[in-house]
Structure 1
Amino acid sequence: MIKVVITGATGYIGTRLTALATSRGYEVVGASRQRPGSHIASWLHFDLSSNDALVLPDGTDVVVHLAADTAACNLLDDVGELAAAQRLIASAQKVGARFIFVSSQTAHAEAPTLYGRTKWRIEQEVLAVGGWVVRPGQVYGGELRGLYGTLVMAVQKLPLLPEFIPSPKVQPIHLNDLAEGLLRIAERGDAKPGLYCLAAPVPISFSTFLAEIAKSRLRCKRIFLPVPVVVINFFAAVIGSAFRTKLGVERLRSLFDLPVMATTSDLDQLRLVLRPLPAGLHPSGDDRRRRLLREGQVLLTYVLKEQPGSALLRRYVRAIESLREGRVFGLPGVFLNYPILLSLLGKTSWQEGELEAEFIWRLDAATMLSEASPAGAARFLGLGGRHSLLISLLLITNALMGEAFWRLARVIVSPMLRLGMARAKGVS
């Protein structure tokens, strides 16, 4: 059993890391100013502003240092925070524990903020003793806490959002993925000491990140107003350092100065696969069930020619979760928006036989579930409806003409369909 001491255990990242480590069988000791919740069996009082060294319990294998002075008023100066880290490093060395420091993407010797410069100085102390430094990107997901919580609340309340020009770039990482990465460093012997950058390899604009919060987390749209960065910098120079910190302008300056991190090699070394941003922004941290519901709605609508009921949708999702391990079939968006276009799909539409077989299986499953529903019984068996011979002939004629139309259309659009289905996401 790995024994880990986590400073800042009550913080945004610390709370999630503590919960994940506990679920994995770690012996977790929380170190913070206030005692954490009941899920932590052991607790040590730890305050960055205290001059007393933290006495680590015997048998400590790993120390994860998350505690930081993130208050807008910077109650602790850089010297005090650095000294606290030095004392903690010495305590870890005394018991022979590995030391992991969670730093910041803003860390740099010439960072525009005291926060970034302090993180960089602590990094040098950790690296000098053969420790591990982790620079996460823009952490998001989970509870609405920390900077992520601030951004979500801002997007929720403000109808107009700033689109900074030139646009700063961010590299997101979900809270759960970051916690997983930290534990992999803690438990794997082949994770060499040094600097690890954990974030999405491809940066996105900050306005894109905010727009995705509005779309995937809040289910709304926001209007963006162009704001030149030079205006913010001029305002920051006029108001002085004290007001910059108080008004949060220093955080904006850190955002404008964010360096792009090369993360691919570090993610590969830890075998860490990051979840897509839209999925991670879902309140549960995974939108798989929502996508399964969307998939079921499309297939069942195609079969029934009407919107399925919620009970039928739930049965479809349970069937996929039970028989297909909950994997989502990634149909192109045009079919998700217009289910009737599924009539265009035929044997010539697929380049991979496995994908075709999987799609047919799911369509058959939707058909069988529909047949067993009241709506399906009414449609397929004609229950509750009486037709004259003339009406029946007209219905048959209409069905034949419809089939002829779709067969002809399938031939015409077959080349485009093959290209579109080749770009389909398949099963994920």
Structure 2
Amino acid sequence: MRLDLPEAGGSLVPYTMGEPRAFTAPPGPAASRVAYAAAHVVPDPFAEEPALDWDTTLAFRRHLWSYGLGVAEAMDTAQRGMGLEWDTTRELILRSGAEARACGGRIACGAGTDQLPPGPTSLDRVVAAYEEQLAVVAEAGAVPILMASRQLAASANGPEDYAKVYGRLLGGLDRPAVLHWLGPMFDPALEGYWGTPDLDAAAGAVLSIIEDHADRVDGIKVSLLDAGREIALRRRLPASVRLYTGDDFNYPELIRGDEQGHSDALLGIFDPIAPAAATALHALDAGDLATYEEVFAPTLPLARHIFETPTYYYKTGVVFLAWLAGHQRHFRMVAGLESARPVLHLVRLFRLADAAGLFPDPGLAAARMRAWLTVLGVAR
């Protein structure tokens, strides 16, 4: 399959697509690692008011479950804090929970405080906002994820305030939760989370919370894009608490682990690379490290490109690939975020995804790429 792709300066160069890789859906989830894909949402382009295309949004979750991956619902990949409002998020959690029960799929859902206005508020209001969302997650039957809160970051005076808030929240849960450490590269409003900009001190603060409530903590998702720091934290966790890597730059080595342990996964990159991720994880189950490395290797340049600075616009690349791969009929996003990345960024993304064999139908991907470039006025 051939097409012309633009390069810097506006020239067009011929490009020949490779063959898709034949990824086979496994019989079930991987056994040696817990793996969640943080899933994107699909808007209804014909709605007069912002709304989701529920059929397509839920079909994509079934795609993830079909590869044995869990779904991390209503996380930043679903544009929490970047266009998705709480009323729609509430419906998303409940609909996805019902779909998970019907499919037998694993699901965890983000609970936050984004129904509050931005800026400082009282800690009591932060707790109440979390509790409102946690009740919805419980109704959905999902594992709760205590998402990092912009309002808490704006209101807390130090680590002791985080300890108070998380202590109250964890104490009120009827099942263990996943904590969420999202670095400022993903959300600048979370600078200084856990009460200090010093990352060593912040690690100590969250470890103290976990140790005080270890029976209520399933794990902690860490998205700092710093493999060494993640490993250091992982080695200090109580034995019962998982480290879910959110490091989209270094996930193969972190999931593989070492003689002192490994990370499980809760990753936005697993949305577009689900078939490859499932294949690699099942190879790891079988002790086949050569296949594990070989399958993940071409996905890493892709991931590092999707999540390049400004990292919080990674969602645009995720949705672009979903459209090219045939999972949805349009390249539109909530709040118009499809325009967040420049043309040449997405052109390179197309090349990298093709190199990883991720387009199940190269003809469809090529046709959609040509159509998109034509609309932009850069096709021949």
TM-score where L is the length of structure 2: 0.30
TM-score where L is the length of structure 1: 0.28
Larger radius of gyration between Structure 1 and Structure 2: 1
Which structure shows the higher helix fraction? 1
